[in-house]
Amino acid sequence: MKKDKENIQKEINDEDKIPKSPTSNNTFRDFNKICRAYYDELMHISKEEKPSLSEIDTLVINDLIHEIEEYSNKLLSNNYVQPAKKIIDIGLVITDFFLKIFGGMSELSNNYKVYDAKLTDILKYPLSLKLLLLKANFNILINYENDYDNGEKNLNEIIEIQLYLKSSSYHLASSKFHMAKIKYYFKSYDEAERYALEAKNSFENANDSNKKNNKKEEDIEKKVTQNVSNILSLLAQIYLIKNEYKEAAKCYENGYYLNLGRFGAENDLTLFFKNKMDLMNEELKKFSSQQPKTQVIINQNNYNSNTIDNSGNNNFIGNIMHKGKAETFSFKIPSTTLYEPFLLSVYSIGQDDSNRFAPELFLGNLCFDKQKLAKYLRLRGNNFNAKLYTDDNLNTILGNIIYYNGSLSFLDNKLRNCLISSSVQWNKNNY
């Protein structure tokens, strides 16, 4: 009995050291009691035949959930993991009762003929509050407790709610990337690859319609670039485990050009991917006497402008090959996704037009940054990727490049400034 009293006193003393809530300035003990009181009240209301909440009650619960999320963040920042977990667990039960009450209220107040449609909209509000706490809970499970089993269950619920709420591509992509990492941890490599590719696709289609200034747009671009880079790194590891070395090399190459275009040659991520790419290419040389000229996967289709996706979707899959002959060189341009470089493969003009792309005529590749290229071509809006491959824009690019006396020259310095890298000798002076 004495030990029990000592343990209780120790818990009380420990709780007194916990920081207060930054919102209400309540102590942890008092805030926990408040949460328990709302928990009990909502549980009883949810069991009533005609459950209901006033508008004021609803606002109070809304504020309480947001305070739980904010308070838990403060507790974590001060290394109080279990207290943070404790209030989040109570909050999640509160949101479940809140959701149940909302469902009952809508069922009673709506005409059954329109019930389903209205219920879908009504439940979005309590679900958005639950999503807030599920994300906070996931953070603790994965980053503090290393509980991947419950983390996976928690994340499945997050993704389910995000799909229901039609969350932005950016947030859904983040969740799928987390799932890819969990599947990788469990050595489910095929599933990890699938989730990683879905996340990459979603990030490449992320479009923030609320961008208000260039600074915010730049910050979003950096975040997306960082996330896509992390996905490419994870995919490369998966492909190495699956002995798919060429696929791994493509991931490192795409990561290199992505970061080279955004941040330059001396950036840490650029150097990381370059080192990985060089090492992979050296390894591939040991197993193959013929090194591929480009790592881009394409369909060897003839250029047909009618097959270009006119929806403006950023996720423009690289399955169309644009082939042709400019005034001083032949070219191949595979369509690629937004966060891959614009690739131009250059061939010298031979004697035989029927064999225009013979290996011996290959001169090298030019890689352009698509963001800069879009500004150069004056393409407006965020969904510009497909527009880069229209007849007019391809002709503008090709018409400002010439091959003469063994080197390429740019007729427009603004186009030259879009260049990331070149394996073709080119004239760095004005033509």
Per-position DSSP letters for 328-388, written without gaps between them: S-EEEEE---TTS-EEEEEE---S-GGGTT-GGGEEEEEEE-HHHHHHHTT--SS--TGGG
Where is 346: in which H helix or E strand? strand 342-347
Q: Are 77 and 61 in contact (CB under 8 A)?
A: no
Do 125 and 260 lie in a common domain? no
| Distance (Å, whole) CA 374 – CA 20 | 50
| Distance (Å, whole) CA 82 – CA 102 | 30
Do 29 and 133 lie in a common domain? yes
CA atoms within 13 A on the CB side of 342: 23
The pLDDT value recorded for residue 3 is 47
Do 22 and 147 lie in a common domain? yes
Do 162 and 27 lie in a common domain? yes
Instruction: Answer yes or no: is 242 within a domain.
Output: yes
Q: Are 31 and 71 in contact (CB under 8 A)?
A: yes
Q: Are 426 and 407 in contact (CB under 8 A)?
A: yes
Instruction: Answer yes or no: is 210 within a domain.
Output: yes
| Tokens describing residue 177 | 């990337």
| Distance (Å, whole) CA 39 – CA 211 | 39
Do 19 and 144 lie in a common domain? yes
The pLDDT value recorded for residue 281 is 84
Residues in the chain, total: 431
The pLDDT value recorded for residue 236 is 95
Cα distances (Å, whole numbers) of residue 425 to 295, 404, 408, 428: 20, 11, 6, 9
The pLDDT value recorded for residue 173 is 94
Q: Are 124 and 165 in contact (CB under 8 A)?
A: yes
Do 194 and 272 lie in a common domain? yes
The pLDDT value recorded for residue 385 is 83
Crossing angle (nearest 10°) for helices 28-46 and 55-77: 140
Do 19 and 157 lie in a common domain? yes
Instruction: Answer yes or no: is 160 within a domain.
Output: yes
Where is 364: in which H helix or E strand? strand 362-368
What 3-state class would DSSP assign to 336? Answer: coil
Q: Tally Cβ neighbours within 10 Å of residue 250.
A: 23
Do 288 and 309 lie in a common domain? no
Q: What angle do CA 193, 198, 204 make, to 5 degrees?
A: 125
Do 157 and 49 lie in a common domain? yes
Instruction: Answer yes or no: is 201 within a domain.
Output: yes
Place of tokens 């599947």: 183
Instruction: Answer yes or no: is 44 within a domain.
Output: yes
Of 238, 263, 292, the residue that ends a domain is 292
Do 119 and 192 lie in a common domain? no
Question: What is the pTM assigned to this prediction?
Answer: 0.73
Of 236, 257, 292, the residue that ends a domain is 292
- Taking the alpha carbons of 298, 302, 303, 308 in that order, is the dihedral positive or negative? negative
pLDDT (tens place) for every residue of the chain, 431 residues total: 544 544 444 445 567 789 999 999 999 999 999 999 999 999 999 888 888 888 899 899 999 999 999 999 999 999 999 999 999 999 999 999 999 998 777 654 444 333 444 555 778 889 999 999 999 999 999 999 999 999 999 999 999 999 999 999 999 999 999 999 999 999 999 999 999 999 998 888 775 444 445 556 667 778 888 999 999 999 999 999 999 998 999 999 889 888 887 888 888 988 999 899 888 888 887 766 444 443 333 233 333 332 333 333 343 444 588 888 888 899 999 888 777 788 899 998 877 777 888 888 888 888 898 888 989 999 876 678 888 999 899 999 999 999 888 888 899 999 999 988 888 887 766 54
Instruction: Answer yes or no: is 178 within a domain.
Output: no
Of 103, 135, 167, the residue that ends a domain is 167
Q: Are 188 and 172 in contact (CB under 8 A)?
A: no
Do 231 and 118 lie in a common domain? no
Instruction: Answer yes or no: is 428 within a domain.
Output: no
Counting the structural domains of the chain, the total is 3
Phi, psi angle pair for 336, to nearest 5°:
-135, 165
Domain that holds residue 413: 305-422
Instruction: Answer yes or no: is 431 within a domain.
Output: no
Domain harbouring 254, CATH code? 1.25.40.10
Cα distances (Å, whole numbers) of residue 393 to 271, 286, 326: 32, 40, 14
The pLDDT value recorded for residue 29 is 94
Cα distances (Å, whole numbers) of residue 77 to 9, 29, 82, 148: 25, 18, 12, 21
Name the CA radius of gyration of the chain, rounded.
Answer: 28
| Distance (Å, whole) CA 90 – CA 86 | 6
Do 136 and 235 lie in a common domain? no
What 3-state class would DSSP assign to 362? Answer: strand
